[in-house]
Chain A
Amino acid sequence: MRRNVPLFICLIAAVTLAGVSSLIYEVLWIRQLGFALGSTAVATSIMLTAFLGGLAIGSMIMGKYADALVNPFSSLVVVEILAAMTGLASIPALAYAGRAYVLITTATGLTGFWAMILRSLFALIIMAIPAIMFGMTFPLATVIGTRLIGGQTAAGTVSAASSFGSAIGALVCGLWLEPTIGIFASAQVAAILNLCAAFLVAIAGFCFRRRTESTNSRILHGK
């Protein structure tokens, strides 16, 4: 297990980057939702519900399969790439949703409770999809970490890396990215971080497979 430590560090770096990215998106969604659908307490709660709900759903879905996956590395690579794509798309999608919401409410005369439901649906659908991807990261990374260095240390370290990444994401986005380069450019940075995470996991997966294959080969040839 000790020789897998560099690969585990690679994984932890990827989880941290994914944590940074997810909190950048959370901060940006709060802003974008305020612009597109209003800054009411209901709107903010919808955002938080979509974000956290997406994380929970993603975690539950992947939790069912993660332990049985032959190659969780490639699954995590795919999840990170999808997170980059859906996360980046969510920013203009929210702006379009705002416009669609205005068109529908003005055409149908929808107001009050039903207008709020419509607003919520738009926001939930758009934000929940990338949030589900973020949620899938956690169980996959825990399983990979367990295969690399063993369960107890892996689970806690993945959790710590994810939290530290989230802290960095909230600070970097709130204090520097969004004020300096705006919402969409910040989302592009977040997407790049997801792709970097995918790249790191891919490298770790490649090295792990090579190492496993060579070990198996040595065992097979009785060396």
Chain B
Amino acid sequence: MKTRLLLIAYALSGTAALIYELSWMRELSAMLGATAYAGGIMLGAFMTGLGLGALIGTIITGNVKRPLMLASRVELAIAVLSIVAFLGIRYLPGYYFNWMRSTGASNPSSFLALQFATCFLVMALPTTAMGMTYPLIMRAVGRDSSIGSLSAKLYAVNTVGAIIGSLIATFSFLPLVGVKGSLVIAAILSVLVAILLRSLTTPRLDVLALFKTPEILVAGITLIILIAIPARADSPLGLGQAFYYLSAQDFERAAAGRTTLFDQEGLYSRVQVIKDSDGTRRLYNGALDEGTDNDFDRVTTAMIAAVPAFSVENTGEALVVGLGTGFTSETYFDLGFEQTTTVEINPQVLPASSFFLDQDFAGSDRWTVVVDDARAFILTSPDLYDCISSEPSWPWSSGVAALFTEEFMMAAKTRLKPEGVYCQWLPNYLLRSEDVEMMYKTMRQVYDRVDVWAINFSNVKNAELLLVGFNDRNSVDQEIIKKRLDDLIDTGQFNNEFIVTDCITPYSEVLRLEAALADSAVPINTDDHSTLEYRVFWNFVRRALDPLAWESSQR
């Protein structure tokens, strides 16, 4: 009976650990940026804490008279210390943002070290306590003759508990009760584990007696404090904001005049629609600014549809990868496409997009939204399209990188009609010339003909690029496409002062890109080696944190 109770307690401990981990990681990934680097750093910080705890636990076990009692107190300590972690993720982003701005641009190692230090600061205390439990339990019940069997049982039940914790946190707690609610649940589980371990220290189970112990008071106070700490109400401050704000105070000033129109925690992140004091609506996905409704941004979202649309002769079916504000999909609709399909991985973005879209379009049966991973959808959907426009989120975001590789472009090609085109958006303001060469070379592995278009603003030329790959290389000439676009813009259909004929032009450096095809030093962006993701990340960091150095390096 006691062994079974011990295994149950240790399984619950595993469940709580994964709920803590996933909750912290959600908030930290908003702060650090949802990158592959951040993923490694967060996991590394968590495991370092566990290792430290196991080491401390091993060192102290020799002198401990009642190891199970201590294990119970350690479990209670996890709940108490989760307050420190919660305070960290709640109030650290501002400090982190300012540290990052003042020191982060110096070199990549110090930037990543700062990210690790921030994660470790948040997780260190509770994870160290988590790591201490195992050696204490082993000290209490382990016998040399059966140590392999016991350690395996403990390890296995803890791992099964961790699986349960990861599943319920991902699909239930985080979407339903958010980060704070999930942390409160995890703390309750830790308290429960502490009670179970404590009950094992007495000769017979006496639950009522447990409620007379001082630990119960500590547990109660812990839960009250956790509940009392307010959850974050405003949009998150993270790496993504480094592009727009010089300091946390700057961000707070801007945030003071904002109103929240939509706010929903989802499977992947917290999605918000915020209205600025000047009336601009912004879509946030985690801490990433995914788009606005201002005319400036709408130049790009309109051109991502208009350029491929005028590169084909038919206005049949279009596929848009990534919903965002929905303006690209809406442009296809306005240009008369019979059917537009949009693939979006995050279900919460769909209701959020209704704050941006025209109601005639949003309610139309000529528009379909598929909630799925775009890559999985393209690989398995039997439908063929005249145009595919790929405008996923920032290429440095974890998961999004899979939508910029040669293999993805090949998959998209199989979904094109014989005269169809594939349009790849590239944020040129974050790319160096060698990055553009790499992406052009990557796309030329798949398409014989690739037209390159520059999106220009009055103050910035070549701000963004569109690479259009043709299934049929003898399709419409680029000059004719430009004429069609100019004619459309001249009609004033876009009703946007920034959409003028000069805003979209053939890219002037195509000869350089062609020359790079033969250069073996220019890599191809593949699944196995997704170079763009990392290059764009460091470009983003340099540009956001040290714009002057970035500008001079670009020259």
Q: List chain A positions with a Cβ less than 8 A from chain B.
A: 23, 26-27, 30-32, 34-35, 37-41, 43-45, 48-49, 52-53, 55-57, 59-60, 62-64, 66-67, 72, 95, 98, 101-102, 105-106, 109, 111, 115, 119, 135, 138-140, 142-143, 146, 150-164, 166-168, 170-171, 173-175, 178-179, 181-184
A-B contact pairs, 8 of them (CB 8 A): A30-B39, A52-B162, A119-B376, A151-B138, A155-B135, A157-B55, A163-B47, A170-B43
Are A160 and B147 within 8 A (Cβ)?
A: no
Are B166 and A59 within 8 A (Cβ)?
A: no
Are A27 and B50 within 8 A (Cβ)?
A: no
CB-nearest residue of chain B to A146? B147
Q: List chain B positions with a Cβ less than 8 A from chain A.
A: 36-37, 39-41, 43-48, 50-55, 57-58, 61-62, 112, 116, 131, 134-135, 138-139, 142-153, 155-157, 159-160, 162-163, 166-167, 170-171, 267-268, 345, 372-373, 375-376, 379-380, 382, 398-399, 402, 405, 407, 526-530, 533-534
Are A106 and B135 within 8 A (Cβ)?
A: no
Are A66 and B148 within 8 A (Cβ)?
A: yes
A64 to B153, CA, bound (A): 9
Are A164 and B138 within 8 A (Cβ)?
A: no
Q: What are the residues of chain A within 8 A of B50 when measuring CB–CB?
A: 163, 166-167
Contact of A156 among B37, B134, B529 (CB under 8 A): B134
A184 to B528, CA, bound (A): 7
Are B166 and A49 within 8 A (Cβ)?
A: yes
A27 to B112, CA, bound (A): 17
Closest CB in chain A relative to B136 CB, distance in Å = 9
The answer to whether residues A139 and B47 also contact, given A63-B156, A155-B138 and a CB cut-off of 8 A, is no
Are A43 and B373 within 8 A (Cβ)?
A: yes
Closest CB in chain A relative to B388 CB, distance in Å = 17
Are B528 and A182 within 8 A (Cβ)?
A: yes
The answer to whether residues A41 and B372 also contact, given A49-B167, A52-B166 and a CB cut-off of 8 A, is no
Closest CB in chain B relative to A160 CB, distance in Å = 4
A223 to B366, CA, bound (A): 93
Q: What are the residues of chain B within 8 A of A37 when measuring CB–CB?
A: 376
Are A62 and B62 within 8 A (Cβ)?
A: no
The answer to whether residues A163 and B149 also contact, given A49-B166, A174-B44 and a CB cut-off of 8 A, is no
Closest CB in chain A relative to B526 CB, distance in Å = 8
Closest CB in chain B relative to A46 CB, distance in Å = 10
Q: What are the residues of chain A within 8 A of B526 when measuring CB–CB?
A: 182
Closest CB in chain B relative to A189 CB, distance in Å = 14
CB-nearest residue of chain B to A16? B51
CB-nearest residue of chain B to A40? B373
CB-nearest residue of chain B to A111? B380
CB-nearest residue of chain A to B345? A40
Q: What are the residues of chain B within 8 A of A52 when measuring CB–CB?
A: 159-160, 162-163, 166
Are B48 and A167 within 8 A (Cβ)?
A: yes
Q: What are the residues of chain B within 8 A of A43 when measuring CB–CB?
A: 373
Are A166 and B47 within 8 A (Cβ)?
A: yes
Contact of A151 among B144, B170, B372, B534 (CB under 8 A): B144
Contact of A139 among B41, B149, B530 (CB under 8 A): B149
Are B402 and A34 within 8 A (Cβ)?
A: yes
Contact of B47 among A101, A164, A181 (CB under 8 A): A164
Contact of A38 among B58, B372, B534 (CB under 8 A): B372
A154 to B167, CA, bound (A): 32
Contact of A115 among B54, B55, B380 (CB under 8 A): B380
> Which of B134, B170, B526, B528 has the most chain A CB within a 10 Å cutoff?
B528
